[in-house]
Amino acid sequence: MPQVGAAYNQYKSAGLEIFIVLGENQYRQKPNLAYCKSYAKQYGLPEDRVFLDYGNMYGAWETLFTNIYPYLPPSGELSLPWEAVLDGDNMEYTYSSSGGGFDNVVDALNESLAD
């Protein structure tokens, strides 16, 4: 996660926006606002870009993964942290750390910010 804070600080002047979605706390339980704020502070992230997502039906990351397919590998396992890049011009889903066209998230960011 430190890489995300560093990338944000490096590229925010170029228009990068980040959203960190917390579905669990360190004990794999429902996170709360205090945990959200401490997580942001720990990793140097802006508090207004860290969100909680724990639903009543499916639990952790319910809203996120109901709306964005994570491109799971054949094993069906989701590795965390999971990263995605969306093009800010049209919200096109351009990268998923589970399998998306670039070697890493930084390459995906560079491509998106170069447009």
**Which has more pLDDT, 52 or 91?**
52
pLDDT at 53: 97
Confidence band, pLDDT 50/70/90 cuts, at residue 1: low
Residue 31 CB burial class (10 angstroms; 0-12, 13-18, ≥19): buried
Q: What gap in Å lies between CA 83 and CA 79, rounded to an integer?
A: 10
pLDDT at 99: 73
pLDDT at 34: 97
pLDDT at 96: 84
Strands 93-96, 84-86: pairing is antiparallel
pLDDT at 50: 94
Q: What is the DSSP letter of 56?
A: S
β partners of residue 20: 50
The 10s digit of each residue's pLDDT in 21-69 is: 999 999 999 999 999 999 999 988 889 999 999 999 999 999 999 998 8
